Structure 1
Amino acid sequence: MNDNHDSDYGVLDELHDLGDGEYDDTGGQSGGDGSGKAAGRRRRVIVGALIAIFAAGVVFAGWHVIGAAVSNNRRAHAAALADCRSARTDYIRTYTSYTPAMSKATTLLKETKSVTDSDTRDRLRQQVNSLRGSDIEELAARECSAKQSRKELSDLADSYGRSRTVMVDGLTTVQYDSQTLQQMVDGMNAQDMRKRLTKLISRGELALERSKGKVDESRRSALETELVSAKQTLATAGSDDTTVLNNEFARLKGIVDGIIASMPLDCHFTQCVALTFDDGPNKTNTPKVLDVLKSAGAPATFFLQGQFVNGSNVELVKRMAGEGHDVGSISWRHTQMHAMPTEQLKKWFADTDTVISKASGKDVTLFRPPDGAWGDALRAQARDSGQAMILWGVDSGDWDKLGADAIAKRVVDGAYSGSIVSLHDGNAATVKALPKIIKGLKGKGYTLVTVSTLLAGDIQPGDVVYGLNDVQRDAE
């Protein structure tokens, strides 16, 4: 490129030199006679004309290149505009089906608020909320304009394409679940509504009982009045009075839900699971367990051996209590106690409770018998020490040399609402499994709580507990 330019400028320079010099016809320099001057003037005219022609050629070539570029840009912009409009046409065609389907689903969800035990309705509600949260409806108001840049048109076309895909995928589920839910509602008879209303009345009575002192009395009074009305409706409604029963259900459910929402967390109305850890504290692994729990915002319960609550482990116990975990006892060391003499039982309880309460700053109210083995004498000592005996409903199996994945699977698959899970914080595989356990349980909708939260108001010293609503009362 540069060589060509140098060549062009060389020609101009030669022409310029030719115009400036005065030469005679034989090639020698003139001595200034008239004929030499005339020849010089002719040459300058010729050179000027050549320069003008060359310049015009350069200008013409430049305009030709610019014109070609402009033409290409126009064609590319026109193609982008056409693509955008085509994408919008496909989008609008799908949107035309999407809008009535979403409207029908939204109306159906409003009409079936009283249907609280339907997986189909829950799935439909989640899908509708997900679609409402996207930019589908916003795009319907946008247009592809010739004033937009190629990039803007390309981005808008991509947005139309993505939204159309979302609508197509979502509509399949929305339409299917809407049809299924409608069929279920149409087939629901008065007998079905009676069963559902009876179940709700029981839930309302439990909410009335457990909300005492926790919710404003005027609201509890309104619930009590509505419970009377619901029972009367059950007694008087005819065999085909589905609408009457459904309306009563909706009124009562609104009040019951409001009461529950106003209460502190209560595991009788929330799906809870309590993770528990035995035989610590362990200097190496217990801090790692606490770190995982803290990061996940998951409270738990620790049953400690008294013999380990010393030295730097005292700070671990303080940390447990300070971070909101329950701290209970599993006796002085892991030895089955159901056959121990009374005096030895008494000493082990006293010694263990002393070191734990001193470290945690709290009384010990929860006791786990080693290996879950217990008898009447052990139960009596727990009662005399002011402690309930906490066993478990889900065994993680981490004591049996299982790997982290196996431990996590066993816990997540085995857990149920109100369950107590047995783990060991001194086990390295348990530490590795814990994040998966927490993620898996939360993914199934469980709220992780301490044992004292799970059983709040439900247990007394001497009770033997396997889970929520699974308590053997102490007859004493």
Structure 2
Amino acid sequence: MLGLERRGSYDETIGADSERPDAMTGNRTARNDDDGRDSAYGDEIDDPTLLDDLSHSDESVDEASESVEGDLHAAAKPGRGVDFSESSSQSDAESGVGRRHADVRRLRTPIVVAVIALFVAGLVFAGWTVTSSVLASQRRAHESALAGCRASRRAYTETATTFTPTLAASKTLLDKTKGFDDSETRERLQQQVNRTEGIDFVALATADCTDGMSATELNDLSDRYGSADTQMDTALISMPYDMQTLRGILDGLTVRDAHARLDTLLDKARTAYTRSDGKADNTLRAALKQTIDAAQHTLDTTSTTDAATIVNATGPLSDATDKVIAAMPVDCHFINCVALTFDDGPNKQRTPKILDELKRAKVPATFFLQGQFVNGSNVSLVRRMVAEGHSVGSISWRHTQMHAMSAEQLAKWFKDTDDVISQASGKPVTLFRPPDGAWSDALRAAARNSNQSMIMWSVDSGDWDGKATASSIAKRVVSDAYAGSIIALHDGNAATVKALPEIIAGLEKKGYRIVTVDTLLAGAMQPVEPGDMIYSLGSIDAMRKSSQGTGTGVAS
């Protein structure tokens, strides 16, 4: 039996020893010297039942041992015989390891709990620290914004105390000197007053920097105070000086000077009244007429030593005149106008780009077309020109100088060109530009017979030069332009297309209103007649008197 084999093995293990410990008491038991057998454990067992019980008991122990061994060592192979003494020792060792593991686990649990607790405490502390830091930073930022806003408000209030009465006095002085249109001092003072129009004195006076406002709100209000303060400080640099100068002009103004200024303003007012007939509101025109009569009465009845009374009459008259002019359509007699013109189109590729830019800028122009190009899809370009508010004129059938042509040839060229252009535009042709500006009496006569004015130019863009760049074209046009000028360009030039935005911006920056040639001519004091040669608005009367000789203009 397995149990006996293990028993024998046990005996053999301790057989050489004369003594061995008693299993229960721990006392050593002597072996018989005569036969060498254990006196407590006989070599023979008489009771076979006892042997069976012992065998069964041994097998149970063996099975239990194997079960424990299998649980502790999954790598042990089932069914393999194991020595009882080794199993017992291994079981004891494993039991000890298990106890040690349990002890370690019991010891480790509070340590882990402590570590976690410390970690959580650290997180809480860190969060509290960060939160406190953020709150402290926000508090400092709010305190700083509040202090800055209040400082800006104090500075603004101090400046406004000085500036407000100065501004009121400036406006009064400007009203009294409205007839001084040629005074640079008055113009500079007016500019300073205009720059401060954006300051909302009422809103800034009622606003306040309070603790209940956020830092952002405080900073915004502080910026408003600061901006207004800067504007007032800048204005106060020159305003007192300009006011003093303007007062000196008024004080030293003689009656003769005052009389001359009011007389000049009366001429302008009467012209506005006449030219506004049917173009402005009749109520405004009636008020202007009444003001004109009052100003004339002042001139007629004021003492020769009373300049102030005459000066005081200029303000109301200037206001009434300006209102009527503003109510009229654009009149280049009162407004500084220039006319952009484009020659030798339409060009399928570039003329649409010119039209696009003019439309974007809301600017009208005048196109002088070659008859040979007004066909096919170009007809729609001509229609677009008219639909978008541009004027259309002729530069003959093709770009060929016409001053040496016979009267018969001129008549044919005018007719053929006018027919195709008027058919495309839906309007009669009334403007003619001679190619290259070359003209003769015969050419003027042909234009007169075709009911067309001869439109020259006073500003040459130079875009006909292949070496010209967009920048050079724009600079030349803007620098040479003046009120009433006619500017010559070519819509088939790529550089001109690129230069056009800069040209428009530059002219408008100089204060010019860009108009068509038709609108420009309407600003003349005398009506333009067919055959008149026109270089600019101011040259109309002079050109009408020219009736002899030939001339050649600058290349067009």
Aligned to 2:16: none
Residue number among 395, 403, 411 corresponding to 1:330 in the alignment? 395
Residue number among 399, 422, 428 corresponding to 2:488 in the alignment? 422
Residue 462 (str. 1) matches residue 531 (str. 2)? yes
For residues 41-81 of structure 1, the C-alpha deviation after alignment (integer angstroms, 9 at most, x for no partner) is xxxxxxxxxx9xxx999999998997787666555544443
Aligned to 1:267: 332
Q: Find the aligned partners of 2:143 and 2:282 in 1 and give their Cα distance.
A: 70
Aligned to 1:43: none
Using the TM superposition, name which of 141-150 and 443-452 deviates more. 141-150
Aligned to 2:470: 404
Q: Find the aligned partners of 2:226 and 2:109 in 1 and give their Cα distance.
A: 55
Name the CA shift for 1:148/1:466 in 2 (closer, same or farther; >3 Å).
Answer: same
Name the CA shift for 1:60/1:330 in 2 (closer, same or farther; >3 Å).
Answer: closer
Q: How far is the alpha carbon of 1:442 from its aligned partner?
A: 0.8
Residue 473 (str. 1) matches residue 544 (str. 2)? yes
- In the comparison of the two structures, how many residue pairs are matched? 434
Q: How far is the alpha carbon of 1:181 from its aligned partner?
A: 2.8
Instruction: Give the letter for the 1:473 counterpart.
Output: R
Q: Find the aligned partners of 2:519 and 2:109 in 1 and give their Cα distance.
A: 92
Q: Secondary structure at the match of 2:405?
A: coil
Residue number among 157, 161, 171 corresponding to 1:106 in the alignment? 171
Please give the residue correspondences for 1:431-470 in structure 2 after superposition, counting only pairs within 5 Å: 431-456=497-522, 458-470=527-539
Please give the residue correspondences for 1:121-270 in structure 2 after superposition, counting only pairs within 5 Å: 121-135=186-200, 137-215=202-280, 223=288, 227=292, 230-231=295-296, 233-234=298-299, 237-270=302-335
Using the TM superposition, name which of 271-280 and 191-200 deviates more. 191-200
Q: Find the aligned partners of 1:269 and 1:429 in 2 and give their Cα distance.
A: 33
Residue number among 342, 354, 364 corresponding to 1:299 in the alignment? 364
Name the CA shift for 1:170/1:316 in 2 (closer, same or farther; >3 Å).
Answer: same
Based on CA coordinates, which of the two structures has the bigger radius of gyration?
Answer: 2
Q: How far is the alpha carbon of 1:324 from its aligned partner?
A: 0.8
Q: Secondary structure at the match of 2:404?
A: coil
For residues 302-357 of structure 1, the C-alpha deviation after alignment (integer angstroms, 9 at most, x for no partner) is 11111111122111111111111110001011111111011100000000001111
Q: How far is the alpha carbon of 1:460 from its aligned partner?
A: 1.5
Q: Which runs of 5+ in 2 are unaligned?
A: 1-107, 548-556
Residue 115 (str. 1) matches residue 180 (str. 2)? yes
Report % sequence identity.
55
Q: How far is the alpha carbon of 1:184 from its aligned partner?
A: 3.0
Q: How far is the alpha carbon of 1:281 from its aligned partner?
A: 0.9
Aligned residues of 1:462 and 1:474 also touching (Cα < 8 A): no
Instruction: Give the letter for the 1:428 counterpart.
Output: A
Aligned residues of 2:177 and 2:314 also touching (Cα < 8 A): no
Q: Secondary structure at the match of 2:217?
A: helix
Q: Find the aligned partners of 1:318 and 1:84 in 2 and give their Cα distance.
A: 61
Q: Find the aligned partners of 1:134 and 1:293 in 2 and give their Cα distance.
A: 35
Q: How far is the alpha carbon of 1:224 from its aligned partner?
A: 5.3
Aligned to 1:40: none
Q: Secondary structure at the match of 1:275?
A: strand
Q: Find the aligned partners of 1:179 and 1:386 in 2 and give their Cα distance.
A: 57
Q: Find the aligned partners of 2:423 and 2:137 in 1 and give their Cα distance.
A: 83
Instruction: Give the letter for the 2:342 counterpart.
Output: F
Aligned to 2:373: 308
Using the TM superposition, name which of 211-220 and 201-210 deviates more. 211-220
For residues 375-414 of structure 1, the C-alpha deviation after alignment (integer angstroms, 9 at most, x for no partner) is 1111111111111111111111211232212211221111
Q: Which runs of 5+ in 1 are unaligned?
A: 1-7, 16-50
Q: Find the aligned partners of 2:363 and 2:176 in 1 and give their Cα distance.
A: 37
Residue number among 355, 363, 375 corresponding to 2:428 in the alignment? 363
Instruction: Give the letter for the 1:469 counterpart.
Output: G
Name the CA shift for 1:116/1:63 in 2 (closer, same or farther; >3 Å).
Answer: same
Residue number among 388, 410, 413 corresponding to 1:348 in the alignment? 413
Aligned residues of 1:464 and 1:474 also touching (Cα < 8 A): no
Name the CA shift for 1:469/1:209 in 2 (closer, same or farther; >3 Å).
Answer: farther
User: TM-score of the superposition, structure 2-length normalised?
Assistant: 0.70
Aligned to 2:343: 278
Q: Secondary structure at the match of 1:389?
A: strand
Q: Find the aligned partners of 2:144 and 2:199 in 1 and give their Cα distance.
A: 28
Aligned residues of 2:179 and 2:262 also touching (Cα < 8 A): no
Using the TM superposition, name which of 61-70 and 147-156 deviates more. 61-70
